[in-house]
Amino acid sequence: MIKATGLVALAIALVPFVNAAAPEWGQCGGIGWTGDTTCVAGTVCTVQNPYYSQCLPGTSVPTTTAPASTSTVPSTTTTSGSSTTTAPAPPASTGFVGVSGQKFTLNGATYPLVGANSYWVGLMGYSTADMNQAFADIAGAGGTTVRTWGFNDVTSANGIYYQLWANGKGTVNTGSTGLENFDNVIAAAKANGIRLIVSLTNNWSDYGGMDVYVSQITGTQNHDYFYTNASVIAAFKSYIQIFVGRYKDEPTILGWELANEPRCRGSTGTSTGTCTTTTITQWASEISAFIKSIDSNHLVGLGDEGFFNDPGNPSYPYQGSEGIDFDANLNISTLDFATAHLYPESWGETSDPVGWGSQWIIDHQTSGQTANKPVILEEFGVTSDQSSTYTTWYDTIISSGLTGDLIWQAGSHFSTGSTPDDGYAIYPDDPVYPIESQHAAAIKARG
């Protein structure tokens, strides 16, 4: 942050006394907002959620249709014959999200991280109008942040994909069914005041992920080669170079995650048997440092489930058997924040899943406090008793001081049908939706 001096400081001091108006796409209201509440001519202050109102073009509440020309992140220029047309840029996301101790920050203030997962928003060929509605539904519940997939590895070109593999070589798709489609995701998030956490590969076979790299390059099913084989690591770095490099100056991205739920074993169930917590910690150190060498603007997280490494513990998620040591990974200097997931019933904790989950939240907050880093519960879910369970877990997040959370997962009802429902999806007409809204307000009220 650069201090204002001399005439600059005087000008800033006089700002409150100037009758100004917020610019197009600028913030104009919301709980706690102390800036301009009027908009420049041709725009209207439109409520996006209780904490965010924005100056949008026109004189009425906008539809879910994306702003003009959202096919790429910057303004685009097309030339035909002797005429040149410059498309208007989408609304600006001002400033990059940072960290200070256990808090996220934005422009000198605490950034309240709360929202949902929407892995599907950029993978299923949705229109820009549908993307806008998806983000608007999350923002409507008070969400500020969405976690989504920045990968889809395929061996046959079909639909939306980001990397095509053939004969051991991956080729990044930068066209309309590839990264240009992800440009649209960013533009839609930006238009709805949402920041994105983007995972760069998957431990599981859904949408390709690690096992595609391994099988294509090594010809084996040994999942843990992803962390140790030099050629596989080089290929992943090549993908990162292109994907992260494309968006390194885009503030709508809150941060990158190395992978979704990295483990020693994946969907193949096969490994060399030599992978340990040290294996993944060393890999995370190398890859996070590589991302930082490309992109100094954005935060980096691991994207793991938050498993602890206490081999004598009777509870499986605490034993370190999957190759994750939460506390060791917290100490990686090039990881800015830590993550935990919460699915007690899937992990065999069936006697008291709600109480076990609350203790899981408290234990991760304790580790975050010791390391003085933000920790987010970035995935959590049950398929029964959702309202009561989530109310309890949300209360524990607030009382423990955990930095933030993202529910698994968001849902929307489009004119063409509803988004995917794996039993966890929360749609705007679900009774959990207002519970999310109340919790988001509580997160924001903490400051």
74 has pLDDT over 60: no
**What is the distance between the terminal CA atoms of the chain, rounded to a whole angstrom?**
20
Helix locations, 295-385, DSSP H:
326-330, 353-371
Report the pLDDT averaged over residues 66-85. 28
Q: What is the DSSP string of 199-221?
A: E--BSSSTTS-HHHHHHHHHSS-
- What tens digit of pLDDT does each residue of 270-307 get? 999 999 999 999 999 999 999 999 999 999 999 999 99
Please tell me the pTM assigned to this model. Answer: 0.81
Q: Are 105 and 97 in contact (CB under 8 A)?
A: yes
* Nearest by Cα to 374 from 253, 203, 200, 254: 254
Alpha-carbon gap, residue 76 to 290, rounded angstroms: 30
* Nearest by Cα to 187 from 111, 242, 247: 247
Question: pLDDT class for 43, splitting at 50, 70, 90?
Answer: confident
Boundaries of every domain in the chain: 26-57, 97-446
Residues in the chain, how many?
447
Q: Residue 261 catalytic?
A: yes
Angle, helices 277-294 vs 230-246, to 10°: value is 40
Q: Classify domain 97-446 by CATH number.
A: 3.20.20.80
Q: Which two tokens stand for residue 260?
A: 């979704």
Q: What is the CA radius of gyration of the chain?
A: 22
In eight-state DSSP terms, residue 4 is P
Q: Which of 250, 322, 349, 379 is catalytic?
A: 379
Q: Which of 261, 305, 322, 349 is catalytic?
A: 261
Average pLDDT, the chain: 87
Q: What is the pLDDT of residue 408?
A: 98
Instruction: Tell whether the torsion through CA atoms of 388, 393, 395 and 396 is positive or negative.
Output: positive
All residues at 6 or more sequence positions from 178 whose CB lies less than 8 Å from its CB, including other chains: 160, 161, 162, 172
CB-hemisphere CA count at 13 Å for 393? 31
Q: Residue 349 catalytic?
A: no
Question: pLDDT class for 317, splitting at 50, 70, 90?
Answer: very high
Q: What is the pLDDT of residue 39?
A: 81
- Between β-strands 163-166 and 169-172, what pairing exists: parallel, antiparallel or unpaired? antiparallel
Give the range among 82-91, 102-111, 123-132, 170-179 with minimum mean pLDDT.
82-91
For residue 286, give Cα distances in angstroms to 127, 274, 321, 340.
37, 19, 22, 21
Q: What is the pLDDT of residue 25?
A: 52
